[in-house]
Structure 1
Amino acid sequence: MKTDFKFSNLLGTVYRKGNLVYRSDGTSLLSPVGNRITVFDLINNKSHTLPYAHRTNVSRIALHPNGQLLLSVDEQGHAILSHFHRRIVLYHFSLKSAVTALVFSPCGLYFAVAIGRKIEVWKTPSTPGISESNNDGSEGGGLEFAPFARHRQYTGHHDTVQSIEWSSDSRFFLSASKDLTARIWSLNPEEGFTPTTLAGHRTAVYAAWFSADQETIYTISKDGALFQWQFLPHPDADPDSIAEADERWRINDRHYFYQSQEHAHLTTAAYHPQTNLLVTGFSHGLFMIHELPSFSEIHKLSISASHVDTISVSPEGSWLAFGSSALGQLLVWEWQSESYILKQQGHFDNLNALTYSPSGDRIITTSDDGRVKVWDTASGFCIVTFTEHTSGVTACEFARRGNVLFTASLDGSIRAFDLIRYRCFRTFTAPKRLSFSSIAVDPAGEVVAAGSLDDFDIHIWSVQTGQLLDQLAGHEGPVSSLAFAPNGGNLVSGSWDRTVRIWSIFARTQTSEPLQLQADVLCVTVRPDSKQIAISTLDGQVTFWSLNEGTQETGLEGRRDVSGGRKTTDRRTAANVAGTKSFNTVTYSADGSVVLAGGNSKFICLYAVETGVLLKKFTVSVNLSLEGTQDFLNSRLLSEGGPRGLIDEQGEASDLEDRMDKSLPGSKRGDAAQRKIAPEVRVPAVSFSPTGRAFCAASTEGLLVYSLDATVQFDPFDLSVDVTPTTTLTTLKNAEYLKALAMAFRLNSARLITRVYRSVPVTDIGLVVRDLPDVYLDRLLRHVAKEADTSPLLELNLLWMESLLRIHGRALKERQGEFAQVVRLVQRAVARVQGEIMKVAEENSRTVAFLLAQPRRVGGGGVKLLALSGNGNGVGGGAEEDESMGDGERDGEGWVGLD
């Protein structure tokens, strides 16, 4: 089995903090998710996360006007310049301090950053595609020894700069600051220009913008005051004798927003000069749209229960993007049609469990917030959210037959959800109130079992009736984990009493065979062939037992592998931290050859079952904003009062609302007396996809998806000198289809394989498949499954599948472990095709039923259906037919239904 899994996507988190940025064409939206950046394709309804990561949470991002360069800065001022399309990092650079504003100039040659009270303008690093001449006459586009070169530094503000806005010609820019002023700066010294201060606001100025013609400046402050500035003389001056020196930027008009609540204040604003739209967001979740300069209100809508953190307007001005960090919400709203383009919200509490759907195209996650979310693996979006549970959801499990999902919750209920109609159709409860922590579903979907940490019994219900069938007693401690064997014969349970019991619940006598362990059992899982179970215990051991014989086959030591990550409060090294030396979750791969394990640390370990060798270790996160990601003590973070992470610096903030501690006692995790607690990195659940080509992990930052890198352009296989694309096409032209297909597989070029695959005549498919060497069987099955998902050639793909399964079906059955992954890929493709065909058939059957239900005309000439061409709906549409009938046909006839 291949083990070169790589990070592919981040689900479960759509917005964390920072600003949102549109691409120049307005088709995609960039959103910071922790220390990574996710790109949402608003046209194709897909999303992907860029592969690189910052060391802390991203605070500001900016996209170059040509759309090639992406600049992102984290909370500590470390910047990464990357190529947006190729998704590769070009340069790393440190700006030495936190950044509050970041924007490229319209010409693309400079970018401006706000660092505290200062503003710095830097030259854009030279890259292919940026060859314009600079304003100083020098040429860009060549190679530079130092890619980041500072052009100028601007000082004058007395407090933090919150916004920077360039003029359309890139000669001037505006800055807004908390010192109640906005300032006009020039990029280079201009003749007759002096830096100008725009003062008059009573609270911090949030933003300032130029109008489209650059004749007007708009400034907006925290209290909702909008000032309009124009270059005018003094109002009392004589119009006939106005000198040029008397003209200056003056307030021409003032506007104030309607504030329905006393404590509501402006938190963000955005202005689109081409359409003169001003969009503002407030602390109570309300946003407003005004048209300037008339300040006429267009829309006012509440989109969130918490404050709106950032607003971004698409380049054409039709789509508005809103981000709220308190609940992790991301919204894209089209204000003209008043409809949502994108509406996503991640979990705003810790993830507890996850599972793949049997087809592998859905991932279900549960969280402490009581929500169950269904994610689409192809698009990366949340399809549906179930909110029936009233407390944290601790476990979830899919029935192998049917689209039924079962969840266990701390509210004392087990619920069954129908994923076709998206509804909860069954609720299971115990005779007494329990907080369920584990769940298992019979492969046939007939019974569901659940365990609790409050009770030592295992409860079993009937799915059909919802009745409690039995309570299995035998454990002397809380039940921590449950798992049904895939063949449906046994139920395996693990408990804190250091035993694992195997129950035969469908036998006449429900006996259990205990397996004695050396420590508390944390997780049990059964291999897909139902012959082996893996048990994870509190001492860091993972042991493998024979399910039929009840004997231990092998084991491995995982204490050193999983241990890692030092917290701020720890007084020991990362290798000696308590509580991180065991695996809380273990899962088998599709073929059962490897296991994946994770726990309360930043590592996910991949082991070989037979040898117990650590094949690969995945690092979940390197984000220093989380606890448990550092391996060594950083002396720079220590002070005389202790670690800086534990010192409350909130009281030193300049604004009153920032100094106030609004947190409730006991609402934080851990010690209630501790002032500041950062979330800890942990992996509560991992799961392999049914195809074995990917696995997902629930972590503190969200749902991480790792997959095999299948996008390699050229990866030759058993290549020789005479095998080239040219010779392959020549062989194909000579009608040597099998040889051409083998040569294409050797070159491993996806485009070439597809061309040969589609060029084989239908009559020769069976002959090619019959003589196909076994070494290419896996590759051809995988390619056919991929074509069935992407290409419109339905009949051709089905003919290939039919020939492969008919001719090589015996080999696929005898070598199940080798072909398990690719067979599941084919099954998923067939199921998708079947669903589409059934959908079309149902629509056609309804159309035929509608036609048959239309009234008919009974007369001497027989039965004639009412024509559908009259008015398009089949009612009264027979005007032309009536004119062609004779008088004899109209006598003694009437309308009757076909029934």
Structure 2
Amino acid sequence: MPEAEHIEGRDDPWSLVVTAVGSALDDCERALSDTPGGVAGEALAFSRFLRAELPRLLEDWQTRRADPARGAPVDQSADDRPVEVALPATLQGHAAAVRDIAFSPDGTTLASADNDGLVRLWDTRTGQGTGGLHDNHSLAILSLAFSPAGTTLATATTALTLWDVTSRTVTATLHPQNPADRIWSVAHGPADDLVVTGNNHSVQLWNPKTTRTTRTLTHPGSVFAVALSPDGTTLAGGGTDTHDVLVWHTRTGRRRLVLSGHTGTIHALAFSPDNRILASAGYDRTIRLWDVHTGHAVATLTGHTSAVMTLAFHPDGTVLASGGAAVSITPSGARYPDDHTVRLWNVLTKSLITTLTGHTGTVSSVAFHPDGTYLASGSFDTTIRLWPINRPINHQPRPTTGRRRLLGRRHRHE
């Protein structure tokens, strides 16, 4: 089985299923690799897609079977007025595994995407859902990103879809050069003229204004993670078929760095707010910090017991959040223990701050609110959890003006 696979809650019967399917796909892919022609190439790409999606399908099926009612809408009060919730809190409304979450730049909206192809929008003041986006294709949305103005949301499936957040309508659908491609990851640049996607064997740069591809960068495998530096000058990508993180100049497309050190598939990348550090994580259960200017390794953070699936920097750059996977199986058949935790790391001291528990499925995405007062985490257990961040690590005074009430509770930094 490939390194990207992580499956929750299996005993021996489930291991037999996974092993049998993986073996069948191995035989299929060997035969297709020796078969010439475009159709065989498309079939090979589809087989690899099935392999990558198997853990998600199994975990999602087990979750639904164990709790068919999961994903029911949150009850409202009898007079139908919005109910303000205090942190920590759990948002329920998805019926399938949550794959990605993102805050709008102004912090008023949280978007979450699931395996049924649904995007839900949440009011961050009340925690109530405000509607959803659905294109009726029911394809799992693996990644999403807001535009800098917050008016457009980009979602990734077999195509890049651009949504007008206000009207909740599709404004453009952008297809990869290879029709058999899957878009695994998406990131938005600091201006409205750049969106980046991680595909099968390529990273593509798009201009959403013209809906055209501006550049295609080759990659040896499926690009599960892409990240753009906050200043937009640097692009990073990582995924399968290599354990390296590749870094390019955004403007020229020239490769700047090859960051070597991981021993497994790359699942997550994040730049620090000051553009100086790139964090990477993946199947080897480690988080690595890199100096973006020199390419030198700054630190290796360990503690997760399974694959690390997601990363996010606090807006002040001193805290890094990470999320762990369910049970993972290595290519040799060894099992990594279940994780399901969110961990907070001190970037300055390179040490663990705390471990947040509560999710019962792979933690697929983490995101800090733009004002840094809380962290959101999305999971294969179909829920989103909100965690207060009450004490920034740098202890620097923050402006006292412009504060607003968040989720029924006023937060302050001590």
Q: 1:52 to 1:698 in 2, by over 3 A?
A: closer
Aligned partner (choices 353, 358, 363) of residue 683 of structure 1: 363
Deviations 1:74-112 (A, max 9, x none): xxxxxxxxxxxxxxxxxxxxxxxxxxxxxxxxxxxxxxx
Pairwise CA distance, 1:52: 10
State whether residues 94 and 382 of structure 2, in contact with CA within 8 Å, keep that contact through their aligned partners in structure 1.
no
State whether residues 88 and 386 of structure 2, in contact with CA within 8 Å, keep that contact through their aligned partners in structure 1.
no
State whether residues 532 and 547 of structure 1, in contact with CA within 8 Å, keep that contact through their aligned partners in structure 2.
yes
Aligned to 2:335: none
Aligned to 1:610: 348
**1:456 partner amino acid:** H
Correspondence 1:550 to 2:295: yes
Aligned to 1:451: 198
**What is the correspondence of 1:128-527 to structure 2 with a 5 Å cutoff?**
346-388=93-135, 390=137, 391-409=139-157, 412-433=158-179, 434-452=181-199, 455-473=200-218, 475-496=219-240, 497-507=242-252, 510-519=254-263, 520-527=265-272
**1:610 partner amino acid:** L
Pairwise CA distance, 1:403: 1.7
**1:550 partner amino acid:** G
Aligned to 1:697: 377
**2:290 aligns to what SS in structure 1?**
strand
State whether residues 451 and 457 of structure 1, in contact with CA within 8 Å, keep that contact through their aligned partners in structure 2.
yes
**1:618 partner amino acid:** L
Distance of 2:406 and 2:72 partners within structure 1:
36
Distance of 1:37 and 1:614 partners within structure 2:
33
**1:684 partner amino acid:** S
Distance of 1:449 and 1:549 partners within structure 2:
23
State whether residues 374 and 384 of structure 1, in contact with CA within 8 Å, keep that contact through their aligned partners in structure 2.
yes
Q: Normalising to structure 2: TM-score of the pair?
A: 0.70
State whether residues 84 and 126 of structure 2, in contact with CA within 8 Å, keep that contact through their aligned partners in structure 1.
yes
State whether residues 524 and 533 of structure 1, in contact with CA within 8 Å, keep that contact through their aligned partners in structure 2.
yes
Distance of 2:84 and 2:412 partners within structure 1:
26
Aligned to 2:323: 598
Distance of 1:526 and 1:52 partners within structure 2:
27
**What is the correspondence of 1:784-795 to structure 2 with a 5 Å cutoff?**
784-786=402-404
**1:349 partner amino acid:** A
Aligned to 2:27: none
Q: Normalising to structure 1: TM-score of the pair?
A: 0.34
State whether residues 605 and 618 of structure 1, in contact with CA within 8 Å, keep that contact through their aligned partners in structure 2.
yes
Distance of 2:109 and 2:248 partners within structure 1:
30
Pairwise CA RMSD of aligned residues?
A: 3.3
**2:343 partner amino acid:** C
Pairwise CA distance, 1:611: 2.0
Distance of 2:78 and 2:350 partners within structure 1:
42
Distance of 2:81 and 2:119 partners within structure 1:
25
**2:237 partner amino acid:** S
**1:521 partner amino acid:** I
**1:605 partner amino acid:** R
Distance of 2:100 and 2:396 partners within structure 1:
38
State whether residues 480 and 495 of structure 1, in contact with CA within 8 Å, keep that contact through their aligned partners in structure 2.
yes
Aligned to 1:619: 357
Pairwise CA distance, 1:401: 3.0
Q: 1:38 to 1:362 in 2, by over 3 A?
A: same
Distance of 2:396 and 2:99 partners within structure 1:
41
Distance of 1:380 and 1:582 partners within structure 2:
29
Q: 1:465 to 1:610 in 2, by over 3 A?
A: same
State whether residues 40 and 48 of structure 1, in contact with CA within 8 Å, keep that contact through their aligned partners in structure 2.
no
Pairwise CA distance, 1:512: 3.8
Q: 1:709 to 1:605 in 2, by over 3 A?
A: closer
State whether residues 324 and 363 of structure 2, in contact with CA within 8 Å, keep that contact through their aligned partners in structure 1.
yes
Identical-residue share of aligned pairs (%) = 22
**2:176 partner amino acid:** A
Deviations 1:606-657 (A, max 9, x none): 1111222211111124xxxxxxx6xxxxxxxxxxxxxxxxxxxxxxxxxxxx
Aligned to 1:894: none
Distance of 2:222 and 2:267 partners within structure 1:
11
Pairwise CA distance, 1:708: 4.3
**1:692 partner amino acid:** G
Unaligned runs of 5+ residues in structure 1 are 1-15, 17-31, 54-343, 564-580, 622-628, 630-680, 711-774, 791-820, 824-899
Distance of 1:787 and 1:704 partners within structure 2:
18
Distance of 1:50 and 1:360 partners within structure 2:
16
State whether residues 597 and 606 of structure 1, in contact with CA within 8 Å, keep that contact through their aligned partners in structure 2.
yes
Q: 1:554 to 1:776 in 2, by over 3 A?
A: closer
Q: 1:36 to 1:529 in 2, by over 3 A?
A: same
State whether residues 695 and 707 of structure 1, in contact with CA within 8 Å, keep that contact through their aligned partners in structure 2.
yes
Q: 1:696 to 1:441 in 2, by over 3 A?
A: same
Pairwise CA distance, 1:37: 8.5
**1:439 aligns to what SS in structure 2?**
strand
State whether residues 204 and 217 of structure 2, in contact with CA within 8 Å, keep that contact through their aligned partners in structure 1.
yes
Distance of 2:132 and 2:74 partners within structure 1:
24
Pairwise CA distance, 1:477: 2.0
Aligned to 2:82: 45
Deviations 1:214-246 (A, max 9, x none): xxxxxxxxxxxxxxxxxxxxxxxxxxxxxxxxx
Aligned to 1:883: none
Distance of 1:590 and 1:436 partners within structure 2:
27
Pairwise CA distance, 1:690: 0.6
Q: 1:703 to 1:588 in 2, by over 3 A?
A: same
**2:254 aligns to what SS in structure 1?**
coil
Aligned to 2:52: none
Pairwise CA distance, 1:363: 0.5
Deviations 1:335-388 (A, max 9, x none): xxxxxxxxx992211110000110111110000111111111112222121111
Distance of 1:382 and 1:788 partners within structure 2:
15
Correspondence 1:782 to 2:368: no
**2:85 partner amino acid:** H
**2:239 partner amino acid:** S
Pairwise CA distance, 1:46: 2.5
**2:109 partner amino acid:** R
Deviations 1:705-764 (A, max 9, x none): 112469xxxxxxxxxxxxxxxxxxxxxxxxxxxxxxxxxxxxxxxxxxxxxxxxxxxxxx
State whether residues 373 and 390 of structure 2, in contact with CA within 8 Å, keep that contact through their aligned partners in structure 1.
no
**1:782 aligns to what SS in structure 2?**
coil
**What is the correspondence of 1:660-671 to structure 2 with a 5 Å cutoff?**
none
**1:413 partner amino acid:** A
Distance of 2:284 and 2:273 partners within structure 1:
26
**2:147 partner amino acid:** A
**What is the correspondence of 1:561-576 to structure 2 with a 5 Å cutoff?**
562-563=304-305
Pairwise CA distance, 1:420: 2.6
Distance of 1:37 and 1:374 partners within structure 2:
14
Distance of 1:466 and 1:36 partners within structure 2:
35
State whether residues 597 and 686 of structure 1, in contact with CA within 8 Å, keep that contact through their aligned partners in structure 2.
yes
Correspondence 1:588 to 2:313: yes
**2:400 aligns to what SS in structure 1?**
helix
